[in-house]
Amino acid sequence: MEEQLQCMEFTVTEDMEEERIDKLLSSLMDSFSRSYIQKLLTDGNLLINDKTIGKASYKVKAEDEVKLFVPPAEQLNIEPEDIPLDVLYEDEDILLLNKPAGVLTQKAKPEDLSLNEWLIGHLLATDAITEADLATFHPSVCNRLDRNTSGIVLCGKTLSGSQALSRIIKDRTVKKYYQTICKGKIVQESTLEGYLYKEESTNTVKVYADPSEAPAEASYIRTIYMPNAVAGDFTLLTVELVTGKTHQIRAHLAGTGHPLLGDTKYGDNKLNRRMQSEYSLHHQLLHAGRICFPKETEGPLAKVSGQTFTAPLPHKFAEILQALNLAPDSAC
């Protein structure tokens, strides 16, 4: 018997125009990995304006009608386990978690264990979902944080919840604020703009100020940072992530001469060694501490319409904040 395919369809809006189809689908359907989406394209499961598209690099145009046909969700073999997750909010469609540093939000390799698996195990254990539910949909995180970035992760418990969260992330109506401690003195609010290119082979990014110098695949990025406190040669910042690209905050600030404390990929090696020696800090101090939902009167996000949620700083972050004499009351 042939398996029944599900059809996920949408119309491309102006803000999506000229984006690669694999990147667009990955951002809208965050429970699917990029490699899985590329396999669906190779298998002929994507129609755009009723024509089969197999190229992952295809760039969409406004008003394109997109249909992606996907097989039923695979069996995950996840045991119900009531893992003590730090749940900030939960209703029937969505869930907000406070992720600790050191945990993947999604698998990088098949053998990895990530927040996604913890989420599903937790939902099974608390009877929020059943094994039968997993045959058609996998609850999933909808915004990715780097392994060593802590803070708020948005999770969809239902398909409608996941799609609604992916939509507000895509259209940037949800406001995301991070806290970090960086090297150097920053005394006034500023907006950084640039073009970010990711080198997949090294999992690093480079930010270009001039679009004419950036590779064609580079993405426009915008970061707003606001100093909360300055002490010595350090600044406590609140950062608004207007666009959300891989390593955006870390690379953008490092490019201005203000690398994040503890950032071994883009940071100051000498300073990092000092932080390791004095505070046993082995990762960047970056915390997704506050998120503000747009106003919505109906649908899966109506219950969180206009609300703001915060996540307390991790103990290590708060300890270093105190030691460096940066005002703790300015935290998110």
Report, as an integer, the average pLDDT of 80-93: 83
Same domain membership, residue 179 and residue 166: no
- 39-55 burial, b for 16+ CB within 10 Å, e for fewer? ebbeeebbbbeeeebee
Confidence of residue 270 (pLDDT cuts 50, 70, 90): very high
Residue 76 within a domain: no
Give the model's pLDDT for residue 72: 60
Give the model's pLDDT for residue 290: 97
Give the model's pLDDT for residue 23: 83
Give the model's pLDDT for residue 330: 41
pLDDT tens digit sequence for 166-213: 889 888 899 999 999 999 999 999 998 999 998 888 888 999 989 899
pLDDT tens digit sequence for 272-327: 999 999 999 999 999 999 999 999 989 999 999 999 999 999 999 999 999 999 96
Same domain membership, residue 189 and residue 310: yes
Same domain membership, residue 95 and residue 24: no
Q: Is the pLDDT of residue 332 over 60?
A: no
What CATH number does the domain containing 143 carry?
Answer: 3.30.2350.10
Residue 36 lies in domain: 6-70
Same domain membership, residue 277 and residue 199: yes
Same domain membership, residue 140 and residue 55: no
Last residue of a domain, one of 123, 155, 170: 170
Question: What is the separation of C-alpha 225 from the centre of its chain, rounded to a whole number of angstroms?
Answer: 18
Same domain membership, residue 229 and residue 128: no
Residue 82 within a domain: no
Residue 81 within a domain: no
3-state helix, strand, coil in the chain (%, to 5): 25, 30, 45
Last residue of a domain, one of 120, 152, 170: 170
Q: Tell me the pTM.
A: 0.77
Q: Give the pair of three-digit tokens for residue 212.
A: 């004419």
Spell out where the chain has E strands. 6-11, 46-48, 51-52, 65-70, 87-90, 94-99, 140-141, 150-156, 175-183, 190-199, 204-208, 219-231, 234-241, 286-292, 308-310
Same domain membership, residue 161 and residue 58: no
φ/ψ (deg, to 5) at 180? -155, 160
Same domain membership, residue 179 and residue 164: no
φ/ψ (deg, to 5) at 248? -60, -55
Of 109-123, 173-187, 191-205, 237-251, the least confident: 109-123
Give the number of domains in the chain.
3
Same domain membership, residue 144 and residue 182: no
Residue 78 within a domain: no
Give the model's pLDDT for residue 331: 40
Residue 80 within a domain: no
Same domain membership, residue 101 and residue 156: yes
Confidence of residue 5 (pLDDT cuts 50, 70, 90): low
Same domain membership, residue 212 and residue 164: no
Give the model's pLDDT for residue 2: 45
Report d(CA 291, CA 108) in Å as an integer: 25
Residue 60 within a domain: yes
Question: Are 150 and 112 in contact, with CB atoms under 8 Å apart?
Answer: no
Same domain membership, residue 308 and residue 275: yes
